Structure 1
């Protein structure tokens, strides 16, 4: 019984503390948010220090407020590339399926951008973004990395929602509780039945 209670606690903690769902160029791998820029990768970590200082998110942002997004390059080749970031409001209803070729030219993306970080190199491999997200709904982040030698540019597009309540987590937690409660009831019932049989004998 003690083991079952411990298992229940571990599962509930996992459901509540895991990163939120990801879309587009960002995915969850081994419980870590990874952004893909062509063949290259970067760690993606988001925070909302004013509201949930210790909770990380993987794209979808729970509260309409200022956010801090930190990108740490995994592949060192990105440190020598010129990296630009643009944040757009999804006015075309593209949602989670948004792609770069649906957003227009780079000039059009810059003109629509709510938050722009001009192209620069990051030899230390870390970019910190601090956009203020003042409306709920879908946004689209576009990270563009240009090779200074070839002039080729790679794009990572990651749509995300702001002002999202993760009610699915509570649903999963409830199902876990119900399933383990039934299992606990059956195990304890068998023990009682076994004890009664021994007494009768």
Structure 2
């Protein structure tokens, strides 16, 4: 009886855990998103001002429209670095599991680049605007270089434009059905005992 409940609860937790995990270098912490750039951290958020006003998005964006990416430095040393920002079409097929090593394998990064902002120094806050024309999977790549160009740190974060959250519903429905079945089976066993 306890084993069935425990197994059902474990399955439910595993299914729901996927939604709580961040993509790549992005990690949700409470109500903010933390972008890990090497050992450096920044608060990261995206706005869709034309369609969602001041609503903040951590990773996935609900629709293709004008997006404003904002990175607030948590480490002062980021203000003394050159920050480069690139967005590419995700072509590896790994989608939310794309990592820096996957990006390094790409021969022609320019051909799949949809937005590029050359290295520049910004004090405290870095922001860029990009107009997404179509939904799909993308990868943001932020490169931070010291002014002496002797140290480089990279953050890679895959995200989906046009994300509705529906892809998780079959898993959630299955987990709920499994949990309900386990509890029903448990109650039948208790009555017959």
**TM-score, scaled relative to structure 1:** 0.68
Larger radius of gyration: 1
What's 1:160 paired with? 159
CA-CA distance at 1:127 after TM superposition = 1.1
* Structure 1 outlier segments of 4+, above 4 Å: none
What's 1:137 paired with? 136
Q: 1:21 to 1:54 in 2, by over 3 A?
A: farther
How large is the Cα RMSD of the aligned pairs?
Answer: 2.6
What's 2:42 paired with? 42
What's 1:90 paired with? 90
Q: Give matches, 1:36-75, under 5 Å.
A: 36-75=36-75
Q: Unaligned 5+ residue runs, structure 1?
A: 1-19, 176-201
**TM-score, scaled relative to structure 2:** 0.71
Q: Distance in 2 between matches of 1:150 and 1:156?
A: 17
Q: Distance in 1 between matches of 2:44 and 2:153?
A: 17
Q: Unaligned 5+ residue runs, structure 2?
A: 1-19, 177-193
| Deviation readout 1:127-168 (Å, 9 max, x if unpaired) | 111111111111000000112236121100000001011346
CA-CA distance at 1:22 after TM superposition = 3.4
CA contact (8 A) 2:115 2:130 kept: yes
CA contact (8 A) 1:96 1:159 kept: yes
Q: Aligned residues, how many?
A: 153
CA-CA distance at 1:70 after TM superposition = 0.6
What's 1:181 paired with? none
SS of residue paired to 1:59: coil
